[in-house]
Amino acid sequence: MLPIEALPLRQSPSAVVVRGRVLVGDAEAVAAGVCAGQKLSTALGLQPGLSVFERVEAREKQALDSLACWAGRFTPTISLVSPDSLLLEIGGCLRLFGGAETIVAAVLAGCTEQAYSTRWAVAPTPLGANWLARAGAARIYPEPAAMQAALADLPCAVPGWPDEAANRLESFGLRQLGDLRKLPGAGLRRRIGNGPVDDLLRAWGDLPDPQKSFVFPESFALDIELPSRVEHAEALVFVGQRLFAALAGWLHGRQLLVRRCSLQLTHDDGPPTSLALNFAEPAADEGRFVRLLREHLSRLQLKSSVEALRLQADELVDKPGASAHLFEQATAGEGTLACLERLRARLGEGAVQALGEVADYRPECATGMREVDFNFGRFFRLTVKEEKVGQKPADSHPSRPLWLLPTPQALPERAGSPQWHGPLKLLSRAERLESGWWDEGEATGDVRRDYFVARNPLGQWAWVFRNADGWFLHGLFA
């Protein structure tokens, strides 16, 4: 179905026509009786509302290349079989994925998500797998004997040999490949040529059949036209998922990670809209890409309808090697960085902040809210502009409360002892904090305080200080 599924703008029922004859029709056209090989006039008689398109092989090639990039997540050895097939060499990946059944299920599910119809087969030889897939085998043949038995039952028209060879085989009364294999090879070569006979030997595994490997492009940039004009940004998620699926496969095939990529939206009129997607850490996970895309599109207001999308990987890094766990580990949840990047995409660039230290002795001024500056490769750091005079000592006092009151609370005093739910017992020696002379006139200003760790009769621990105005509660310990 690739000739018709590669077309962006089409409405059912529709068909692709070559030289006045139907090449392929969609499900609605087939239900009306339209089939491959029919004359166009016959097809229009069966379905008067049929939309007819000429074949565009360039679009088919682009769709096949995109699928090859996507398939890079399963194996690095991929071949394009003209005009509409992909050949995946999975022999070296069976243990990694847990068997051929798992790989087949994942491949079919991914093709369905990208709206591609498929026929498939798994076999020991490339040509054998191709012929069985075209025949709709939909089976795994792990051993050569099982594959050869299945190939023997295929009709001689399956390989797509020249018409002259097919006509001669029909005149001989040969209908199946198994019957053809029983004939002497020398006489068969004189009658139908060397090509078909060599194909038989390659399919059965009697001749080597090396394939030309698909070369993943050096850079990633993929365009896709929409099947219809889109007015709302959230409706672009499905098409965006196809683009990011290809990106994830290309990253796996090239052993790279992406830090930043851009999605360009082409409108019917007006300049294109560029959507930058920045990741908190280099990534290659399709699910993570799509989740971040959803957050961005949920906030995007389109100025006009969108007719095409273009995804481009802007900043890439090499994928580091990693060792697998010896024993099975629990599935990890979403990490801190992935959560932060989604929050930033949902709320805006300046809305996600973190608490950072400031070089100031005064507790009210020792921390500040700053935008998160992601440090790719590890965790994240906070960029703090040191606007205060002085440096924080290397041996800062460890007794600091988790909860600091917004404003110190004045405490009553009885017989020289501060009171907070009863008399407070001082548990530490005085810690003198004297700083802020450069802020004279501001809300905090110059402070001269003696801090203590204290406990009341209820067992609550508090951070209190005394200055010229009396005793104050400034923080609570957890």
Which is more confidently placed, 426 or 168?
426
CA–CA dist 415, 395 (Å, integer): 35
Please report the pLDDT score of residue 392 as a whole number: 41
pLDDT band at 172 (very low <50, low <70, confident <90, very high): confident
Please, are residues 404 and 440 in contact by the beta-carbon 8 Å criterion? Answer: no
Please name each of the domains of the chain with its CATH number: 2-55 (3.40.1170.60), 221-319 (3.30.1490.100), 403-476 (no CATH)
372's tokens: 């998160």
Please report the pLDDT score of residue 51 as a whole number: 87
Alpha-carbon dihedral angle through residues 311, 315, 320, 324, given to the nearest 10 degrees: -30
pLDDT band at 9 (very low <50, low <70, confident <90, very high): low
pLDDT band at 435 (very low <50, low <70, confident <90, very high): confident
pTM: 0.63
Which is more confidently placed, 373 or 218?
218
Condensed to tens digits (0 to 9), the pLDDT of residues 329-352 reads: 655 656 677 777 777 777 777 777
Residue 298 has pLDDT above 70, yes or no: yes
26's tokens: 């969609």
Q: Contacts from 320-326 at CB under 8 Å and sequence distance 24+?
A: none
196 prior amide bond cis, ω within 30: no
CA–CA dist 429, 91 (Å, integer): 72
Average pLDDT, rounded, for the chain: 84
Please report the pLDDT score of residue 330 as a whole number: 56
Please report the pLDDT score of residue 380 as a whole number: 39
CA–CA dist 388, 222 (Å, integer): 49
Condensed to tens digits (0 to 9), the pLDDT of residues 71-80 reads: 988 998 999 9
Stretch 294-323: mean pLDDT:
86
Please report the pLDDT score of residue 333 as a whole number: 58
Please report the pLDDT score of residue 440 as a whole number: 64
CA–CA dist 94, 404 (Å, integer): 57
pLDDT band at 122 (very low <50, low <70, confident <90, very high): very high
CA–CA dist 94, 88 (Å, integer): 12
pLDDT band at 442 (very low <50, low <70, confident <90, very high): low
Stretch 296-309: mean pLDDT:
86
CA–CA dist 220, 236 (Å, integer): 20
In 3D space, the residue among 148, 149, 117, 153 whose CA is nearest the CA of residue 135 turns out to be 153
| Residue 298: CB atoms within 10 Å | 12
Please report the pLDDT score of residue 145 as a whole number: 94
Buried b (16+ CB within 10 A) or exposed e, 217-251: eeebebebebeeebeebeebeebbbbbbbbbbbbb
How deeply is 192 buried, as exposed, middle or buried, from its count of CB atoms within 10 A (0-12, 13-18, 19+)? buried
Q: Is 337 helix (H, G, I), strand (E, B) or coil?
A: helix
Residue 292 makes CB contacts below 8 A (sequence gap 6+) with: 277, 279, 341, 342, 345
Buried b (16+ CB within 10 A) or exposed e, 101-118: eebbeebeebbeebebeb
Please, are residues 156 and 133 in contact by the beta-carbon 8 Å criterion? Answer: no
Tokens 């200080």 belong to 465
What are the two backbone dihedrals, phi and then psi, of residue 371, each rounded to the nearest 5 degrees?
-65, 145
CA–CA dist 283, 41 (Å, integer): 52
CA angle at 383 for the pair 378 and 386, rounded to the nearest 5°:
145
Residue 403 has pLDDT above 60, yes or no: yes
Residue 203 has pLDDT above 50, yes or no: yes
